[in-house]
Amino acid sequence: MARAPTPPLPARDGVSPSCVAVPAAHWPTVLDFLAERLPALTVDEWQARLLAGEVLDAHGQPVTPGLPCHAGQRLFYYRGWPDEPPAPVAEHLVFQDDWLVVADKPHFMPVTPSGRFVRRSLLVRLKQQLGIDTLSPIHRIDRDTAGLVVFTVQPHTRDAYQALFRRRRVDKLYEAVAAHRPALSFPHTHRSRLEPDPQRFFISREVPGEPNSETTIERAAPLGAHALYRLRPLTGQRHQLRLHMHALGLPILGDAFYPMVRHAAGQADDSARPLQLLARALAFDDPVTGQPRRFESSLHLAAAQGRWPLPEAVADYTAPERTAPPQAA
């Protein structure tokens, strides 16, 4: 895995600088490129940033508006902060030592800055809370999904931890609530080929071809018309668990994309009906310390507790008490 370039700008309030690389096309100047490629700011706003020395090259030197633009050039800058609503539910710190930080992410919070969420992302909030600018996630879960996310503390160990996921050496357990269909037999292993939808960039779909995704699904407990399921993904394709449950005729409760798109990416969330999918547990042998690691979420799906839909949009689960995270022995 190629390493991201080291930014010449420090993090600001937990937000790392962004980097944009100039592709093989023709823009006369850096200002022309930035104004066309990143139109969230006007030409005048980009010019003001450039003149204020807020855009740097890969060597940490300020870039002027009239500097010639060439392919491969890397530019570093602080992205603007959108007007973000406060997080209705905070993250919960599960574990911290010199190597790893593990946190429980609530529904509707992205792991990293994305779209209209920057300061409300889990990464930025943890950087601000812990004062560790080197935090980096070693895997991702969807913004709609709640549960465990693991971060590295030391940059030089990042690839070793990420390799665990690439090599499928992490035991991942999810929980989901969906319809109860007694006629279906479990456990069931579902394999299929998943590819991005060519018409709608924010969803995926099952297509004919060699499988590139695999999930083992168990029915854990009936819940009246619904049931609690345990899902163990061997692979990590986008929306894999959501699509595999949908393929069985068991779309996950609260899913805004499958079987049909209820609202597109970027639109307002239905906070009363969060996706009932939880990253419950992770286990692996630590490549740095040699220790066996196992982390378990302290969150619970609302529908599994008989609360569905939620009466208010401020609490999608019973938040655990804020206690100090356990330290490594």
For residues 2 and 224, which has the higher predicted lDDT (pLDDT)? 224
User: Residue 138's closest CA among 111, 113, 120?
Assistant: 111
Q: Say what the pTM is.
A: 0.79
Residue 321's pLDDT is what?
Answer: 39
CATH for 156 = 3.30.2350.10
CATH for 25 = 3.10.290
Residues 46 and 183 in one domain: no
Residues 99 and 51 in one domain: no
Q: How far apart are CA 242 and CA 238, in angstroms?
A: 9
Average pLDDT over residues 87-114: 93
Residue 312's pLDDT is what?
Answer: 55
Residue 268's pLDDT is what?
Answer: 75
320 in a structural domain: no
Residue whose token pair is 């779209």: 115
Residue 271's pLDDT is what?
Answer: 87
pLDDT surpassing 90 at residue 265: no
Structure tokens at 147: 């549960």
Give the chain as a 3 state SS string: CCCCCCCCCCCECCECCEEEECCCCCCCEHHHHHHHHCCCCCHHHHHHHHHCCCEECCCCCECCCCCECCCCCEEEECCCCCCCCCCCCCCEEEEECCCEEEEEECCCCCCCCECCECCCCHHHHHHHHHCCCCCEECCCCCCCCEEEEEEECCHHHHHHHHHHHHCCCCEEEEEEEEECCCCCCCCEEEEEEEEECCCCCCCEEEECCCCCEEEEEEEEEEECCEEEEEEEECCCCCCHHHHHHHHCCCCCCCCCCCCCCCCCCCCCCCCCCCCCEEEEEEEEECCCCCCEEEEECCCCCCHHHCCCCCCCCCCCCCCCCCCCCCCCC
Average pLDDT over residues 278-302: 98
> What is the pLDDT confidence band of residue 3, given thresholds at 50, 70 and 90?
low
Residues 97 and 55 in one domain: no
> What is the pLDDT confidence band of residue 201, given thresholds at 50, 70 and 90?
confident
Residues 266 and 290 in one domain: yes
Q: Would you give the distance in Å from CA 94 to the centre of its chain?
A: 17
143 in a structural domain: yes
107 in a structural domain: yes
Question: Could you report the per-residue pLDDT of 131-184, keeping only the tens digit for each?
Answer: 999 999 999 999 999 999 999 999 999 999 999 999 999 999 999 999 999 999
Considering the chain, what is the average pLDDT of its residues?
89
pLDDT surpassing 60 at residue 188: yes
Residue 314's pLDDT is what?
Answer: 41
For residues 194 and 49, which has the higher predicted lDDT (pLDDT)? 194
Residues 170 and 279 in one domain: yes
pLDDT surpassing 80 at residue 70: yes
> What is the pLDDT confidence band of residue 313, given thresholds at 50, 70 and 90?
very low
Residue 6's pLDDT is what?
Answer: 63
Residue 53 Rama label (left phi>0; alpha psi -120 to 50; beta) = left
Residues 57 and 175 in one domain: no
Residues 6+ apart with CB under 8 A from 48: none
8 in a structural domain: no
Residues 143 and 255 in one domain: yes
Domains contained in the chain, number = 2
Residues 24 and 163 in one domain: no
Burial of 212 (0-12, 13-18, 19+ CB in 10 A): middle
Residues 173 and 261 in one domain: yes
258 in a structural domain: yes
Residues 33 and 162 in one domain: no
Q: How far apart are CA 76 and CA 58, in angstroms?
A: 7
pLDDT surpassing 60 at residue 318: no
Residue 179's pLDDT is what?
Answer: 98
Residues 67 and 136 in one domain: no
The number of residues in the chain equals: 329
Residues 45 and 172 in one domain: no
103 in a structural domain: yes
User: Residue 273's closest CA among 305, 313, 236, 229?
Assistant: 313
- Domain range for 211: 92-305
3 in a structural domain: no
Last residue of a domain, one of 77, 108, 124: 77
